[in-house]
Amino acid sequence: MDIKELLDDDAFDPKKLFNEEEYHTLLINREGYSKKENDVADLIHTLLEKNITRPESEEIFKTLKEKNAQAVLVNAIKQCNRVSEKTKLAAACWESCLDFSNHFLFFVELACSTDFMLSMEAYTVVENCEEPIISEEALTQALLIIKNSKSPNTAILEDLKNNITLRIS
């Protein structure tokens, strides 16, 4: 692209940069990240690309598992501003077959989202957490989070509550 094109008012439309259908704007704060964590952050960005294929996604899920990417995935979800991006990354959490027991309460809170798809993906992560790692205190706190939730997704909340109650017994 030459300089004339950049200066041409018709060549560049800044409004297009804010079109959520065309671009994602997740910026992962990489301060203090190791090379491994930077590689994981790059994979997470790739997952959010519009035209990613299922085989490409599955390869990324496999790599995320190999790199034990739980912390970077959780941080990326926390930094997302768009629910659609949070939803994709929550799905990546369970699709990568990683255990997020150390982030159990975070995903319980996400499962109480008012957005149905985010709620469902986060519930799936909670459902796949390994029981022995989760303390009874965390389970009790999770029930309190559900009780105080204003989410309209009552079926998911009821399933979440049942899942947690079974873990206490």
pLDDT for res 130: 84
CB-based contact 47:60 (threshold 8 Å):
yes
Over range 94-101, report the average pLDDT: 96
- pLDDT of 43-87, one tens digit each? 888 998 889 999 999 999 999 999 999 999 999 999 988 999 999
SS3 sequence of 85-152: HHHHHHHHHHHCCCCCHHHHHHHHHHHCCCCHHHHHHHHHHHHCCCHHHCCHHHHHHHHHHHHCCCCC
Q: pTM, whole model, 2 decimals? A: 0.79
Query: 92 pLDDT exceeds 90?
Result: yes
Task: Write down the domain spans for the chain.
Answer: 14-98, 99-169
pLDDT averaged over every residue in the chain:
84
Residue 147, number of CB atoms within 10 A of its CB: 10
Range name among 55-64, 91-100, 127-136, 143-152 with the lowest pLDDT average: 127-136
Cα–Cα dist 72/8, whole Å: 40
Over range 119-133, report the average pLDDT: 91
CB-based contact 22:49 (threshold 8 Å):
no
Over range 129-145, report the average pLDDT: 88
